[in-house]
Amino acid sequence: MKQESKTPKKPLIFYYLIAMLVLLLLNALVFPSLLSPRVKEVSYDQFLSLVERKEVNKVAIENDVILFTVKDDAAKDGYAYYQTGRIEDADLVNRLKESGAEFSAVIPTQDSALLNFLMTWVFPIILFVALGLLMARMLTKHMGSNAMSFGKSNAKIYVESQTGKSFADVAGQDEAKDALREIVDFLHNPDKYAAIGASLPKGVLLVGPPGTGKTLLAQAVAGEAKVPFFSISGSEFVEMFVGMGAAKVRDLFKQAQEKAPCIVFIDEIDTIGKKRDSGSGIGGNDEREQTLNQLLAEMDGFDGAKGVVILAATNRPDSLDKALLRPGRFDRRVPVELPDLQGRIAILKVHAKDVKMEDNIDFDTIGRATSGASGAELANIINEAALRAVRMGRSKVAQQDLEESVEVVIAGYQRKGAMINDREKRIIAYHEIGHALVAARLKDAAPVHKITIIPRTSGALGYTMQVEEEERVLMSKEDLLNQIITLTGGRSAEEVVFNSITSGASNDIEKATSTARAMITRFGMSDTFDMMELETVNNPYLGSDTSLVCSAETAAQVDGEVRDIIRAAHQKALTILRDNRDVMDKLAAFLLEKETITGEEFMEILKQCDAERQPVSLVKENQ
Ligand code: ADP
Ligand code: MG
Ligand code: ZN
């Protein structure tokens, strides 16, 4: 998929062997004695006595050594050559003459001087450089990145269709696709835009929660654009050596300008684009700051008309440095939001194409049950369903697989061996029925879709799934209060039936509290504070990261109001359940037996009970 020069990978041992061989050869060149016959070192007086005994055969006198051979009968020790150090000896020539040995002096020639020089200076240097290069190559190979090409950006270049993705692979997200299509169109027909005097935004920032398809969209652009596409992740700029991030940015833009028209994609730009002033603490952040400054400089530096478009993605737009968002840099923001019902169904269908499915799959139900799920989670649901189908020995994915995998992705796997005693099981059953029954008795609360007391690996001992009839974007005060009352329903049931309470409501308590708090501090739904902002959301895409923007006294008052809302809700739930004790018992018994109740079964039992009750309440009214 990626365009990379592929060199066949050789095992590390291969390079070691080569290095060893080179070393050996060099050794042989520098120290010929290793390969040639061995030489015996003798003292000068031994040499002289050999000469005197006329046992020396040939003598070669060098600058500071005398090499010689001895006649056969003297060579008992098996050495072919002998050598001794040369001493200033005026008599030597006479002695040699007397002994009748052949002798000559070896004059160091120009050649051997050169060779000497090569051997002692040039060769070792070459050797070191060669070894160094070899090591560098090995390092790069084994570290998986260009560890040695400091400052080179390791942006991968995607060329047309190499990502294999197109806009058709991105379901929903129509606004985002339209905005990106315009960019692609500009790169293809710049004249059309130039004629009217329009200039392209230099930078486009894709913002949205994790898993909504930002990276996927960028890859689709790469597939559609038919221009070079540089892709790099923000974290790749953060180097192990200071200053390298900035160098990488420089290199990336240099490459891009050479290849224009082209698209540069920086994924997870928040890793380098964080606000510069934000509590940099001790040193540390200098590097990132330099990288960011370089990025800003480069974005200002190049001419947008040349056709380099910078695409970036982040799920933390608020943490980005304001300078990045200034006009002339990332001046266009493309929101990539969580999919709505239609979007979810479309995404499910796109991913369903990759697996074998039964014909009668009801994507609508799955879409409804996955409100709030991201594209990545939906893709995961399809895959989990396929895995389950295999486990079940089926050759196609069935509706049932999908339903179960929704629960797996939302609540974790079923915990098969979990030991829960009967009393606890009864408590759990009543708890869940408590939620469901309260919801059913409230006006306009979301209908119950499923109740189960099969424990999950996520720690949930059971849960009640409510599914809205239609997609909601606005929640009224009543809706939120209904939610809180429903959340308190589980604990209320425990109180009504067992007259004791358990730790099982912790999750409900958490949710109820945060909803109640948000009503007061963010949604302006309290009488005391009216439409006053008391809490601000730090990052809309990453959960409930909020901070108070009010005085300590106000905060204390808010706590009081939260308590009042929850207390009222709790009382309401208790009342509902006390009034419906008979229905609750029936439902709980059914749930204990079946462990899972569908929404239809639930409504069926409810209706039945109501029908039996009707005459009683009529009688009461008549009295
Ligand atoms: P992000 O970069 O926004 O965190 P990704 O682009 O990495 O999310 O999405 C992860 C995966 O989720 C994708 O590879 C794709 O399989 C799936 N996905 C997300 N959104 C969509 C969508 N709109 N259509 C189809 N698949 C999607
Ligand atoms: Mg991503
Ligand atoms: Zn609960």
Mean pLDDT over residues 291-311, rounded? 80
Catalytic residue among 236, 298, 377, 432: 432
DSSP assignment of 296-348? HHHHHHS-GGG-EEEEEEES-GGGB-HHHHSTTSS-EEEE-PPP-HHHHHHHH
**pLDDT band of 37, cuts 50, 70, 90:** low
> Which pLDDT value is given to residue 163?
66
- Residues 366, 381 contacting (CB under 8 angstroms): yes
**Would you state the pLDDT for residue 485?**
96
* 414 or 67, higher pLDDT: 67
Give the C-alpha separation, 436 to 606, whole Å: 11
Concatenated DSSP letters for 509-570?
HHHHHHHHHHHHHTS--BTTTBT---EEES-TTSSS-EEE-S-HHHHHHHHHHHHHHHHHHH
| Residue from 50, 92, 98 nearest 74 by CA | 50
Beta-bridged to residue 450, according to DSSP, are: 465, 598
Q: What would the mean pLDDT of 487-509 be, rounded to a whole number?
A: 93
Q: Note the ligand closest to the C-alpha atom of 209.
A: 1
Which ligand is nearest to the Cα of residue 375, counting in written order?
1
For residue 463, list its beta bridge partners. Answer: 452
Looking at mean pLDDT, say which of 10-14, 15-19, 428-432, 535-539 comes out highest: 428-432
Pocket test for ligand 1, best of 212, 217, 221, 380 (most atoms within 8 A of CB): 212
Q: What average pLDDT does the segment 279-296 reach?
A: 70
**What is the pLDDT, as a whole number, of residue 305?**
67
Tell me how far apart the alpha carbons of residues 523 and 530 are, in angstroms, rounded to a whole number.
Answer: 9
Q: Using CA atoms of 321, 323, 324, 330 in order, give the dihedral in degrees to the nearest 10.
A: 140
Give which of 325, 408, 425 is closest to 369, Cα–Cα. 408
Would you tell me how many other CB atoms lie within 10 Å of the CB of residue 116?
11
If you measure from the C-alpha of residue 216 to the centroid of ligand 1, how many angstroms do you get, rounded to a whole number? 5
Distance CA 224, CA 356 (A): 28
Select the more confidently predicted residue: 213 or 199.
213
- Residue 313 Cα to ligand 2 midpoint, Å, equals 7
CA of 268 from ligand 2 middle (Å) equals: 7
Task: Kindly state the average pLDDT of the residues 184-200.
Answer: 82
Closest C-alpha to ligand 1, atom 27: 375
User: What per-residue confidence (pLDDT) applies to 246?
Assistant: 81
Q: Determine the pLDDT at residue 588.
A: 94
Among all chains, which residue has been given the structure tokens 């130039």? 194
CA–CA dist 39, 62 (Å, integer): 15
Question: Which whole number is the average pLDDT over 171-179?
Answer: 88
Interacting residues of 192 by C-beta distance below 8 A, sequence separation 6+: 185
Residue nearest to atom 25 of ligand 1 (CA): 170
Which atom from ligand 1 is nearest to the alpha carbon of 376?
12
**Residue 459 pLDDT greater than 90, yes or no:** no
CA distance 505 to 515: 15
436 C-alpha to ligand 3 centroid (Å): 10
Q: Write the residue with the smallest CA distance to atom 18 of ligand 1.
A: 375
Whole-number mean pLDDT of the chain? 81
Ramachandran quadrant class, 144 (left: phi over 0; alpha: psi -120 to 50; beta: rest): left
Quick one: tokens of 36? 């040639």
> Residues for the chain: how many in total?
623
From the CA of 217, how far away is ligand 1's center (Å)? 8
d(CA 88, CA 143): 60
Please state, in angstroms and rounded to a whole number, the distance separating the CA atoms of residues 100 and 93.
11
C-alpha–C-alpha distance, residues 442 and 576, integer Å: 9
Q: Show the beta-strand stretches assigned E in 54-146.
A: 56-61, 65-70, 81-85, 102-105
Active site residue 469: no
Nearest residue by C-alpha to atom 12 in ligand 1 = 376
pLDDT of residue 349: 93
Q: Which of 190-199, 240-249, 341-350 has the lowest mean pLDDT?
A: 240-249
pLDDT (0 to 100) of residue 623: 41
Residues enclosing ligand 1, CB less than 6 A?
Answer: 170-173, 210-216, 313, 347, 350, 375-376, 379
For 213-227, write each residue's pLDDT tens digit. 999 998 888 888 778
* Best residue for ligand 1 mutational test, from 170, 178, 206, 216 (most atoms within 8 Å of Cβ): 216
Give the Å distances, CA to CA, from 42 to 36, 78, 115. Answer: 18, 14, 28
Coil, strand, or helix at residue 16? helix
Own/partner pairs for 605-608, CB < 8 Å, 24+ apart?
A: 606/437, 606/440
Q: Which ligand is nearest to the CA of 216?
A: 1
pLDDT above 90: residue 566: yes
C-alpha gyration radius of the chain = 41
Q: How many CB atoms lie within 10 A of CB 561?
A: 19
| Ligand 2: centre distance to CA 510 (Å) | 30
Q: How much is the pLDDT for 412?
A: 65
Tell me the pTM: 0.61
pLDDT at residue 298 tops 90: no
pLDDT above 60: residue 279: no
> What is the helix (H) or strand (E) element at residue 136, kind and residue range?
helix 123-143
**Which residue is it, tokens 């009214």?**
621
Please, are residues 442 and 482 in contact by the beta-carbon 8 Å criterion? yes
* Atom in ligand 1 nearest the alpha carbon of residue 217: 6
State the ligand closest to the CA atom of 486: 3
- Atom 5, ligand 1: residue with shortest CA distance: 213
Given CA atoms 402, 405, 409, 410 in this order, what sign does their dihedral have?
positive
- CB-based contact 127:20 (threshold 8 Å): no
Atom of ligand 1 nearest to the CA of 218: 6
How big, in percent rounded to 5, are the helix, strand and coil portions of the chain? 55, 15, 35
Closest CA to 242 of 287, 295, 291: 287
The answer on pLDDT for 621 being more than 60 is no
Lowest-confidence region among 33-37, 73-77, 572-576: 33-37
Output the CA 372–ligand 3 centroid distance in Å. 19
Name the residue at shortest CA distance from atom 7 of ligand 1: 215
